Amino acid sequence: MRKPLVAGNWKMNSPTESSTILLENILHHTDQLKKMIKDLNTSSAIDIAIFPPAVYLREAQEILTGSGIHWGTQNVSAFDEGPYTGEISAAMIEGFGCEYVLIGHSERRCLYETLELDQTVLDKIVAQKYEMATRHNLTPIICIGETADDYEANKTEEVIARLLDVLIAHKGPKALSETVLAYEPVWAIGTGKSATPEWAQDVHSFMRERIAKHDKATAESLQILYGGSVKADNAAAIFAKPDVDGGLIGGASLDVEEFIHICFAAALKAS
Ligand code: PEP
C-alpha cells in the first residue's frame, strides 16, 4: 500500500504575517486531523508537505520542525552555484530542512515558454533539476501534464510519455523510486475545472504502466499525485481511484479548513 501524500503549493501568496498564522493554523488543525485519523482506526497515515514561497522557509522550519509535516520549495535551480541571479540552489534549500522540491510546475514552464524554448529543451531542464534535487537529499515532486490544446488534440499520453522517457533515460528507472510524480493537467490548474476521477485514474495508470515496462517494482511503489482544482468536495472521489496517491493542491491549500478536509480525504483512502 502506497502512503498518500497531500502537498500544498502556496504559489506566490501570503505576506509575512499571514504566512506565520497560516503555518500555525495548519499545525493546529493537523493535530485535530491526527486525532480524526486515529478514530479511523488506521495504522497507516498520510504525509503532508507545505510549499510556501522561499522567503518563508525560515518560518516553516521554525514552526513545522518536529510536527511531522514536511516542507519544501516550489522550484530549484538546475545549477549548483554561480552567476544565476534570482535562482536558489538545492544545497541552499537543503539548509532550510526541506525534504521536498517541486520541479517542472506548469507555471514555471510558462515562464520559459515565453523564451520560446521548445518542450524537449524544457524536459531536459526538468531532468537537470531532478539531478540536483536528488544529489542534495531532496525528494522531487515532478509535475507532468498536458495543455488544453494537447488535451483537445488527444495528445495527453504523448506529452506524458515524452517527459517520463527523458527522466528514465537520465537516471534509470530505479531512481524514480525516490521521486514523486504529479499528474497536473494544465487546463485544470487554478481553473476550478478538475479532471474527472476516471480521467485521472486512466492517466495515472498509463504512467505506472510506462514505468513498469522498465521496472515493475518501482512502478508499483511510486507515489503519483493528482493536481488541478482539487477541493474538499472532490478530493475523496479522486483519491479513491487506485492509482491516485494523494494530491498537489494549489488554491485550496491557502484555506486551512479546506486543506485539512482534503488531507482527511487522503486519510480515508489509507484506512
Ligand atoms: C497547483 O498549483 O499545482 C495546482 C494544482 O493549483 P490548483 O489546485 O489551484 O488548481
Q: Report the pLDDT averaged over residues 18-35.
A: 84
- 230 CA closest ligand 1 atom index: 8
Please give the grid coordinates belonging to residue 60: 516553516
pLDDT of residue 115: 58
Q: Report the pLDDT averaged over residues 53-76.
A: 93
What's the rounded Cα separation, in Å, for the pair 138 and 101?
6
pLDDT at 207 over 90: yes
Q: Which domains does the chain carry?
A: 5-270 (3.20.20.70)
Distance of CA 232 to the CA centre of its chain: 17
DSSP letter (8 states) at residue 104:
S
**Buried-exposed string 6-39: b where 16+ CB fall within 10 A, e elsewhere:** bbbbbbeebeeeebbebbebbbebbeebeeebee
Residue 4 beta carbon below 6 angstroms from any ligand 1 atom: no
Tell me the pTM. 0.94
Q: What is the pLDDT of residues 82-139, one digit of tens each?
A: 999 999 999 999 999 999 999 999 998 777 655 556 777 878 888 899 999 999 999 9
pLDDT at 238 over 90: yes
Q: Whose CA is nearest to atom 8 of ligand 1?
A: 250
Residue 250 beta carbon below 6 angstroms from any ligand 1 atom: yes
pLDDT of residue 113: 53
